[in-house]
A and B are shown apart, each in its own frame.
Chain A
Amino acid sequence: MNLRRDVFQAIADPTRRAILLLVASQTMTAGAIAANFDTARPTVSKHLQILTECELLKQEQTGREIYYHINAKKMKEVADFIEPFRKMWDDRFNNLETIMKKYKSKK
């Protein structure tokens, strides 16, 4: 089972898109980000976790605070539409791997 977050699933959510827009203008702490939303703090944290897992956001520790900033490289990948293409091949190859592992054990 592949548990890796899907980048397009991540940006499909309006709150997460709003977070990306916010952080794009300046690096921010989770608290500062949450202050911009009516949503409960743990919900915002969950969104931040998802965005970090799919590498759209990066965390940076400064003293006691964790700052979030945009991962420009990953954002460009999405903008370039390469990600869906990559994902398509990744799915195919995952499939190939699963099929051949079964093929191997049958022999």
Chain B
Amino acid sequence: MKPMKHKTTVEAEDGKQELLITRQFDLPLELLFTAYVEPHIVEQWMGTKVLKLESKKHGSYQFETTDPNGNVVFRANGVIHEFIPNQKITRTFEMENGPFGVQLEFLEFEKLTEDSSRLNMLTVFRSVAQRDQLLQLPFAQGINMAHNRLQDIVSKLK
């Protein structure tokens, strides 16, 4: 049996303070880019509320997730340094009240065919230790995020 190749890959070389996430999409480049620009779409796939998203050079953004009781469980923000439609977004990302510090993200959008595209997301951390700490976040958090997102999407279907 041939093992299936992952659509999403993560490269984190030992001793480096960067992380490369690559994903191939069965989507035209323009649609992939739109998913990063339209606040109501970002909300759906990221599973968080978008308080602000100014998709332009020197713009900024703010995400927030609350539990059913209205308590804030996650809040993140950043500024956009470079914004070239269908090509590139360079921005900072900072989880508020988190131990990971500010990260610098280089997002590159690439057309493969009319119906497929690729995203390369290079994240640079302040230190190797901060990067490794993020990678070791308990799996439970990933599950919670997925769960929250599912709830969000289902509730919007009604």
Where the two chains meet, the residues of A that have a C-beta atom closer than 8 Å to any C-beta of B are: 4, 8, 49, 52-55, 59, 80-82, 84-97, 99-101, 103-104
Contacts and interface: CB of A to CB of B under 8 A. Distances in A.
Q: Chain B contact residues: over half helix, strand or loop, or mixed?
A: mixed
Given A82-B12, A100-B31, A91 B139 contact: no
Nearest to B25: A97
B136 to A, nearest CB: 5
Contacts, number: 86
B27 A101 contact: yes
Interface in B22-65: 23, 25-28, 31-32, 34-35, 41, 44-47
Contacts of B41: 99-100, 103
A84 B146 CA distance: 12
Interface residues on B, range: 35 or more
Contacts of B146: 88, 91
Nearest to A92: B45
Contacts of B75: none
Contact of B135 (A85, A97, A104): A85
Nearest to B38: A103
A100 B21 CA distance: 20
A53 B5 CA distance: 11
Contact of B1 (A53, A90, A97): A53
